[in-house]
Amino acid sequence: MKNDQEYLLYYREKFNKELLDFIAIPSIAALPEHSKDVQRAASWLKEKLFDVGVENVEIMETGGQPAVYGDWMHAGNGKPTVLIYGHFDVQPVDPVELWDHDPFTPTIKDEKIFARGASDDKGSMFIPIIVFEAIYKSSGSFPFNIKFLFEGEEEIASPKMPEFVSNNVDKLKCDMIFSADGGQFSEDEPNLAVGFKGILGFDIEVIGPETDKHSGLFGAAIANPIMALTQLLSSMKNKDGEITIGGFYDEVVPLSDKDKAEIARVPFDEKQYLELTGSIGLDGEAGYTAPERIGARPTLDVNGIWGGYQGVGTKTVLPSKASAKITCRLVANQKPKEILKKIENHVNRFLPNGVVGKVIPLQDEGDPLLIPEIHKSTDIARDVLRNVYGREPYMIRVGGSIPILSAFYKYLGVHATMFAFQLDDENWHAPNEFFRLSSFYKGQEAYRQLFHKLGSISS
Amino acid sequence: MKNDQEYLLYYREKFNKELLDFIAIPSIAALPEHSKDVQRAASWLKEKLFDVGVENVEIMETGGQPAVYGDWMHAGNGKPTVLIYGHFDVQPVDPVELWDHDPFTPTIKDEKIFARGASDDKGSMFIPIIVFEAIYKSSGSFPFNIKFLFEGEEEIASPKMPEFVSNNVDKLKCDMIFSADGGQFSEDEPNLAVGFKGILGFDIEVIGPETDKHSGLFGAAIANPIMALTQLLSSMKNKDGEITIGGFYDEVVPLSDKDKAEIARVPFDEKQYLELTGSIGLDGEAGYTAPERIGARPTLDVNGIWGGYQGVGTKTVLPSKASAKITCRLVANQKPKEILKKIENHVNRFLPNGVVGKVIPLQDEGDPLLIPEIHKSTDIARDVLRNVYGREPYMIRVGGSIPILSAFYKYLGVHATMFAFQLDDENWHAPNEFFRLSSFYKGQEAYRQLFHKLGSISS
C-alpha cells in the first residue's frame, strides 16, 4: 500500500470531486428555507467521516443548527488527544446577479474552485478529514487520538455553540485544538493568529421629556436627550483617541518591544488599506501604529445612533429620548463584565444634567484571547508552516472576535491554534467566492506534516 | 338703529350659530382628502365677508392652500390702513377615539364650544369680522381702512405664505397689522407678545468609510463617523449650556434690567412646567432664568440623529456615515444666514480627523422679531387690553417662530401685534379642543374698543 503522501496524490481527483459535491450543498445557516440543506451537509459530512474510519460519528442537536462530531481514540498511552474544528455552513449568496456562475454549481477555472463556501470554510475544513483518511487508510492506524467537531452556524455568529460546548465538555475534552477555519497571509507567506479580541455590546439610552416636545416652547428650558447623549459619548474618548472611561486600560497586557516587532514584521500597506475603506486617513489611539491598534489595543465603537426626527426637512421637536449602540473590542486581560461596570460608572458620573441615562447590556460578550508565548500546538504549527512555506510565519493578532474560540478556552481550557489555508482575497461573504487549488494541496501537505508531528509526541 | 355694542349683544345668538357653522367645516390643511373642505371654508369666509360689507373679496391662489382677502378702503384722509390676519385651516383630529364628541359637530357644554378649530383659530379670527359687521351695519360706515387676510395653511407651517406676501406687497401694504391668532395668558390676565424667535434649520452629515465596515477589522484604525459627529455636536455647547460657536451671540440684543423685570412679572410655575414635560429638571444656558431663556435667548437644538445600525442586538459595524438634524432658535438681531456661516466655520474647525463633514441648510429660515419699545399698534392694544381686563398686560416673548409674522415684517415692513383671545389650556392640536364663550364675548368687546381707537387716529 502507498504511504499517506502517495495516497493524497493518487486520489487527488477523487478528493477534488468530493469537495465539489460537498460545496454544491447550499447550507446557508441564515436562511430558514435552507435549513434542510444545512442538515444535508451535516449528513454528507457524517457519511464521509464514517467512510474514512472515524468512529462515534453523530449529528448532534445544539438547539440551533446541527453540529457533526466523530473521533478515533485508539492511539497508545501517552499520545495526545487533539480536537479539529471547522464549519460546514456558508454565507447567503445575495446579490446573486453579481456572480459569474451559479454559486452552488462549483466551477473550476484558472485552478480555482468558484462557489459559495469553497474558501470559507468547506475547502479548508475538508483537508484534515482527507489527511486523516490518507494516514489511516495507508497505515491501518492513526498516530494520536483525534476528535472532529464541525459546526453549522458559524456564519450566523454561533449563537448556540458556546452553550453546546459547555454541555459537552467530557466529549470534547482534549489537549490541543486546531481550527481548520482561519487562513494564511498570502500564497507564499504563512501566518499564525495568536490574539483575538473579546467583545462587549451594550446600548445607552438617554431619556428627557416624557414625549416629544416643541423645541421652541421647551428647547431653551429642559435638557435635549440627543445633545446629552452626544456629550456623554464624546466624554468617552479624548482627542488623542484614548478611551477615557476610568480604569478602562487597567487590565490591558502592555505591548512589549518583542510584541511590537512581531506586529511590525507583518506587511501593512496604509495606502491600500485606506483605498479599501474609502476613508480619508487613519485615525485612532495615539502612540500606537494602526496594526498595533487593530490587533492589540481595545476599542470603543459606536455602531449605531438614533433619536428624534430622521426624515426630510425640519421637525422642530425636542425628542423624548436618544439611543446609541456600542461595542467594545477587548484585549487580554480585560473582562467584559468588569468593563461594563466601569462604563456604568462613567455614565453615572458624566451624564449631563436634566436627563436619565441607562446602560443596557446586549447578549454579545466574549473574552479576549491571547495565546501564551510558549504554547505547544502553536509551536508545532509554526514549525510545520515554516517547513512547508520555507519562511517564518507572521504572528498575527486579529481585530475581530471568534465566539467558538472563546468558548473552547472558557469551557475546555485550551487555546485553539488556527491552521487553515484560505486567503483573504477569496471573496468571502461576497460574490464569486473561490478557493485556490494550490491552497487545497498545500493545506493537505501541511496537515499531513502536522499530524505526523502530533503523532510523534509522547508524554 | 342700535349702536355697535348693542348690535353685538342683539345678534349674539346669530353670531354663535354662524361660528358653529364655520367650525363644522373640517378644513384640515395637512390631509389631501380634506382639500375640498379647506376650499369650502374659504368660500364660507368669502361669502361672510361679502355679506357684512367688506369689498374686493376674493379667494386667492397661493400655490398651496387658498387665502381669503377683502378690504374696505373708504375712510377719510389721514386714517390708517390696518391689516387683520387669521387662519381658517385646522389641525388633524387623530387620535379621534379620544374625543368626547365628533370633532366637527361643534357642541356647547359648560359655556364652551367643543370642536377642532374652535379655539385655534376659527373662534378668534371670526371676532374682527363680526365687530366690523357691528360697526359698519350700525353706523353705515367704518372709521379706518381695513384689510382682511386669512390663510389656509397655518397648521402646516405656511409653506407658501411668505412667497404669497412677497408677491402681493401692494395689495397688503398697511400701517399696522393685528393678528387674530395668538392668545391671552388666562381668563383674567391679558398679554401682548413682543418677541418671536427666528429659526435656522440644517443637517450635519459626517462621512467616514465609503460603505459600512466590520468594526473589529477597521474600528481601531479609521475614524468612526458617529463618534466624530457626537464630538462635533458636543463641541457646540459647553457645560454651562452656552453655545460655543464662535460669534454666535455677537448680534444678540442683551436683556436690560427692564426687560428682565417684564419677563419676571409673567407667572412661571416651575413645578407645573416640569410636570408638563416629564423632565427631571430645568436645564439651559447658565445666568438666565428659564423664562428668559425661553423668550429671549437663542438656542441650538438637535431635533434628530441617525447613523449605523438601529435594530435589536448587536451589529458590529463601523458605519459609513452619521447625520444630525438641528434647529437654532434665533433672537433679535441674529440673522439666519450669518449664523449659518458661523456654524459652517465651526464645523470646519472642530470636525475630528479622518472624516468629511457637510452642513446642509434646510428650507426653514426665519428672522427673529422684537417689537420696538415704542410701537403704535402694540401701544394701542395695550391700552385696550388694560381697559377690558382691568390690569396691565404681561409683555411676553415667545419661544416659537411664526413664519407669517416674519414675512409681514420682511415684505411689508410692519411688526404685527397679536390680538387674539384663545387660552392655551384649550387643547390646541389635541382631542377635545374647545373655545370659551366668555373669551368669544370678551374678544368682541376688545376688538370693538380697538377698532374705535384705530378710527380715532388721524395723521
Q: Is A459 on the interface with B (CB under 8 A)?
A: no
Q: What is the dihedral of CA A6, A11, A12, A15, to 10 degrees?
A: -130
Chain B window 13-52: which residues touch A at a Cβ cutoff of 8 Å? Answer: none
- Here the cell at position A396 is 498575527
In this prediction, residue B94 carries a pLDDT of 86
Q: Which of A220, A219, A228, A209 is nearest to A316 (CA)?
A: A219
Provide the greatest CA pair distance for chain B.
90
Whether residue B221 and residue A294 make contact (CB cut-off 8 A), yes or no, is: yes
Whether residue A201 and residue B356 make contact (CB cut-off 8 A), yes or no, is: no
Whether residue B399 and residue A218 make contact (CB cut-off 8 A), yes or no, is: yes
The chain B residue lying nearest A213, using CA atoms, is B277
CA distances from A128 to A148, A234, A440, A454, B151 (A): 9, 48, 11, 13, 80
Rounded to a whole number of angstroms, the distance between the first and last alpha carbons of chain B is 30
- Closest-CA distance, A287 to chain B, in angstroms, reads 12
In this prediction, residue A366 carries a pLDDT of 85
Query: What's the mean per-residue pLDDT of chain B?
Result: 95
Tally of CB atoms within 10 A around B313: 12
The torsion angles phi and psi of A113, rounded to 5 degrees, stand at -95, 115
Q: Which of A137, A187, A199, A161 is nearest to A60 (CA)?
A: A161
Whether residue B211 and residue A278 make contact (CB cut-off 8 A), yes or no, is: yes
When CB atoms are compared, the residue of A302, A309, A329 closest to B304 is A309
For B341-363, letters b (16+ CB in 10 Å) and e give: ebbbebbeebbbebbebebeebe
Name the residue with cell 441650538.
B300
Tally of CB atoms within 10 A around B214: 13
Name every residue whose Cβ is closer than 8 Å to that of residue A285 and which is 6 or more positions away in sequence: A240, A241, A242, A243, A293, A297, B220
Name the residue with cell 373679496.
B57
Whether residue A303 and residue B324 make contact (CB cut-off 8 A), yes or no, is: no
Task: Give residue limits of the domains in chain A.
Answer: 4-196+368-455, 198-252+298-366
Name every residue whose Cβ is closer than 8 Å to that of residue A298 and which is 6 or more positions away in sequence: A197, A243, A248, A249, A252, A328, A329, A330, A331, A334
ipTM of the modeled complex: 0.86
Q: Is A302 on the interface with B (CB under 8 A)?
A: yes
- Dump pLDDT digits (tens) for B4-21: 999 999 999 999 999 999
When CB atoms are compared, the residue of B285, B303, B322 closest to A309 is B303
Write the secondary structure of B263-323 as one string of H (helix), E (strand) and C (coil).
HHHCCCCHHHHHHHHCCCCECCCCCCCHHHHHHHCCEEEEEEEEEECCCCCCCCEECCEEE
Whether residue B364 and residue A313 make contact (CB cut-off 8 A), yes or no, is: yes
Q: Is B68 on the interface with A (CB under 8 A)?
A: no
A235 to chain B: which residues are within 8 Å by CB?
234
CATH of the domain spanning A4-196+368-455, picked from 3.30.870.10, 3.40.50.300, 3.40.630.10, 3.40.640.10: 3.40.630.10
A281 to chain B: which residues are within 8 Å by CB?
222-223, 353-354
B216 to chain A: which residues are within 8 Å by CB?
197, 199, 329, 398-401
A211 to chain B: which residues are within 8 Å by CB?
278
Q: Is A406 on the interface with B (CB under 8 A)?
A: no
Q: Is A355 on the interface with B (CB under 8 A)?
A: yes
Chain A window 251-280: which residues touch B at a Cβ cutoff of 8 Å? Answer: 273-274, 277-280
Name the residue with cell 442683551.
B254
Q: Is A282 on the interface with B (CB under 8 A)?
A: yes
- Closest-CA distance, B429 to chain A, in angstroms, reads 12
When CB atoms are compared, the residue of A213, A273, A310 closest to B306 is A310
- Dump pLDDT digits (tens) for A164-181: 999 999 999 999 999 999
Name every residue whose Cβ is closer than 8 Å to that of residue A232 and which is 6 or more positions away in sequence: A204, A206, A347, A350, A351, A352, A357
Please check the confidence at residue B371 and state whether its pLDDT lies above 70: yes
Give dist(CA A326, CA A303) in Å, integer.
5
Question: Strand order of the sheet with strand B299-308?
Answer: A356-366, A198-207, A321-330, A299-308, B299-308, B321-330, B198-207, B356-366
Whether residue B399 and residue A233 make contact (CB cut-off 8 A), yes or no, is: no
Three-class SS state of A444 = helix
Q: Which CATH architecture has domain B198-252+298-366?
A: 2-Layer Sandwich (3.30)
Write the secondary structure of B184-219 as one string of H (helix), E (strand) and C (coil).
ECCCCCCEEEEEECEEEEEEEEEECCCCCEEHHHHC
A4-196+368-455 and A198-252+298-366, same CATH topology: no
Give dist(CA B66, CA B104) in Å, integer.
21
Three-class SS state of A379 = helix
In this prediction, residue B424 carries a pLDDT of 87
A311 to chain B: which residues are within 8 Å by CB?
304
The chain B residue lying nearest A200, using CA atoms, is B314
Tally of CB atoms within 10 A around B78: 9
Name the residue with cell 390631509.
B31
The torsion angles phi and psi of A352, rounded to 5 degrees, stand at -60, 165
Q: Is B229 on the interface with A (CB under 8 A)?
A: yes
CA distances from A341 to A246, A338, A356, A430, B101 (A): 10, 5, 18, 38, 53
- Here the cell at position B49 is 365677508
- Closest-CA distance, A198 to chain B, in angstroms, reads 10
pLDDT averaged over 10-residue windows placed end to end, chain A, 459 residues? 92 98 97 96 98 98 97 95 98 91 96 97 98 97 98 91 97 98 95 94 96 87 97 96 98 96 95 91 96 96 96 88 96 96 98 96 87 94 98 92 89 97 91 96 98 94
Q: Which of A227, A399, A198, A204 is nearest to A302 (CA)?
A: A204
Chain A window 179-198: which residues touch B at a Cβ cutoff of 8 Å? Answer: 197
Say if CB A119 and CB A448 are below 8 A apart.
no
Q: Is A171 on the interface with B (CB under 8 A)?
A: no
Query: Considering the entire predicted model, what is its pTM?
Result: 0.86
- Here the cell at position A164 is 453546546
- Dump pLDDT digits (tens) for A49-92: 999 999 999 999 999 999 999 999 999 889 999 999 999 999 99
Q: Is B210 on the interface with A (CB under 8 A)?
A: yes
When CB atoms are compared, the residue of B218, B227, B399 closest to A217 is B399
Give dist(CA A102, CA A374) in Å, integer.
46
Whether residue B280 and residue A197 make contact (CB cut-off 8 A), yes or no, is: no
Helices B336-350 and B225-234, packing angle to 10 deg: 130
Give dist(CA B232, CA B358) in Å, integer.
12
- Closest-CA distance, B226 to chain A, in angstroms, reads 6
Beta strands A198-207 and A321-330, pairing class: antiparallel
Q: How large is the average pLDDT for residues B39-57?
A: 98
Q: Which of B19, B69, B16 is nearest to B46 (CA)?
A: B69
Burial of A256: CB neighbours in 10 Å, binned 0-12, 13-18, 19+: exposed
Whether residue A216 and residue B197 make contact (CB cut-off 8 A), yes or no, is: yes
Q: Which residues pair with B145 in a beta bridge?
A: B81
Q: Is B223 on the interface with A (CB under 8 A)?
A: yes
- Closest-CA distance, A414 to chain B, in angstroms, reads 23
